[in-house]
Structure 1
Amino acid sequence: MCLILAVMWIFSVAFFAVLVGLLTRLSFCGSTVVNSYFCYHGPLHRLNCNDNSMNFVMARMCFVLLICLPLVLIIISYFCIALVLFKISHNVDRTKAMKTCTSHLLLVAIFYIPLLSNNIAVVLTSSIHPNVRIINNSLTQIMPPMLNPIIYTLKTDEVMQSIKDLYKRNKVNVTKEKSIKCRRKN
């Protein structure tokens, strides 16, 4: 486990050191205003004056290694999980396992859909409106951590039962209020 963590830390530090090193060799002309509120290398590429083809190659490698590869591994692992789920004969066990998987897949989708749409739009159109990019990046950074506790809390039976009881209580109260209003009108 420690070896895996060490390799990942070394890989991440080395990879991003190369990206930062490539950014330092760029020269900027004209406006140096970056339309972003956090560190993102895409807008910097558009502001430079010299050749940045190596930066684009590294950006694509970064996209493939850090975004696409984990997504492919997640899809493969869930395909294997689906195969195992179809072999489970007991419906209760299958349903319980599917609840766990769907909540995780929902969070994966919430993370990857804005991220992939941002990168695919850049590839297809060669540019994306800065506000769209900022909103997509914000959704990618804010939504999964914000929704994670909510989604996993809704999985617990006690919370779901409390929500159902609250819904029934409110439904009964609304029904009583409607019947009282109907009697007053008559």
Structure 2
Amino acid sequence: MLCLIIQISLSSQPLIMWVLNNTSAQPLTFLLTGIPGLRAAQIWVSIPVCLLYAVALSGNSMILFVVLREQSLHEPMYYFLSMLSATDLSLSLCTLSTTLGVFWFEAREINLNACIAQMFFLHGFTFMESGVLLAMAFDRFVAICDPLRYTTILTNARIAQIGMSMLTRNVAVMLPVVLFVKRLSFCSSTVLSHSYCYHVDLIQLSCTDNRINSILGLFALFSMAGFDCPCILLSYVLIIRSVLHIASIEGRQKAFNTCISHISAVAIFYIPLISLSLVHRYGHSAPPFVHTIMANIFLLIPPVLNPIIYSVKTKQIQKAVIKVLIQKRLQI
């Protein structure tokens, strides 16, 4: 599954470069922002931010490692979990250099092409995470509602098809967004509100009509949240209905327990995402640091918490992680 993420990233790079090189060149430089009003304290703020990045990178790398290494984890549920970890890892890496560069070295400048490239991968991996959460909901639906056909429905080939369909959707949705950003003109202000390039933040700096860009951004958001969220909700309505037909209380609890980790992952992803989008579009009266804090929460909380949640709530992952750590200690 990690190979699919890497493959699409590599295969999309020539396409992005074609878009950047075949549109009108604008030698623009934007200025990234740390935390407005707290510039003197940024070095101290960077310490917890750096720690969160370290937890996100190490935690998701550990999940990927144990899933790939342990033969007992070569099942559909853990394949989807490895896709989630690969997406979270990629999402963290997208913004690591610019965020820490702003906080540590005051490296605030970023040119338009680099900004658009970061925006493409940032939003692309965000959409990817939404798609993976939907796939994981489908996995739980099949496991609980039709367990006898679980292995025949979720074969390795079908899981690969699901992964490729999500990647294809991301590229198809994001390419128009990238193309139309290059058509904008930027006149006076080139100061961004975050330490990375966010689509809504970028198009608001344009001195030309950006209504098409706003519509494309909303379409991309609704094609993700507007489709994935109702499907996830529907899957859990069917899961709850199926679980209520289980006679024993222990059986119901066991079935619900297998869904707790996924429900938590859905909540910590969608709540900050929707909140950030609403604040950007309708919270103009909010202090600038509110936008920045929410943006960093949206970026860091899911990659940090997902490995912790699955390590705590999933016994198989727990055992695999403990086994790896013990083996490393014995080698030392």
Tell me which interval the TM-score lies in, with the shorter structure as reference length. 0.7 to 0.9
Percent identity over paired residues: 36
Q: Does 1:62 align with 2:234?
A: no
Distance 1:102 1:10, change over 3 A: closer
What displacement does 1:157 show? 6.0
Name the larger-Rg structure.
1
Alignment correspondent of 1:11: 169
What displacement does 1:75 show? 0.9
Name which of structure 1's ranges 64-73 and 23-32 shifts more when overlaid on structure 2.
64-73
Alignment correspondent of 1:84: 242
Which amino acid is the alignment partner of residue 198 of structure 2? Y
Check conservation: 1:121, 1:127, Cα contact below 8 A: no
Q: Root-mean-square deviation (CA), in Å?
A: 2.3
Check conservation: 1:103, 1:151, Cα contact below 8 A: yes
Alignment correspondent of 2:263: 105
Q: Which structure 2 residue ranges, 5 or more long, are not aligned?
A: 1-157, 319-332
Alignment correspondent of 1:115: 273
Which secondary structure state, in structure 1, belongs to the residue aligned with residue 204 of structure 2? helix
**Distance across 1 between alignment mates of 2:269 and 2:174:** 21
Alignment correspondent of 2:126: none
**Distance across 1 between alignment mates of 2:230 and 2:299:** 20
Q: Which has the higher contact order (CA 8 A, sep 6+)?
A: 2
Alignment correspondent of 1:162: none
**Distance across 2 between alignment mates of 1:73 and 1:156:** 24
Q: Which structure 1 residue ranges, 5 or more long, are not aligned?
A: 160-186
Distance 1:68 1:143, change over 3 A: same
**Distance across 2 between alignment mates of 1:24 and 1:86:** 53
Of 303, 306, 314, which aligns to 1:148? 306
Check conservation: 1:85, 1:97, Cα contact below 8 A: yes
Distance 1:96 1:3, change over 3 A: closer
Please report the TM-score for the alignment, with normalisation by the length of structure 1.
0.75
**Distance across 2 between alignment mates of 1:150 and 1:4:** 25
Check conservation: 2:201, 2:280, Cα contact below 8 A: no
**Distance across 1 between alignment mates of 2:284 and 2:178:** 22
Number of aligned positions between the proteins: 159
What displacement does 1:67 show? 2.2
Which amino acid is the alignment partner of residue 48 of structure 1? S
Which secondary structure state, in structure 2, belongs to the residue aligned with residue 51 of structure 1? coil
What displacement does 1:131 show? 2.7
What displacement does 1:139 show? 1.8
Check conservation: 1:122, 1:128, Cα contact below 8 A: no
- CA displacement 1:16-70 (0-9 Å, x = unmatched): 1110110000000112111212221111121111111100110110110122321
Please report the TM-score for the alignment, with normalisation by the length of structure 2.
0.44
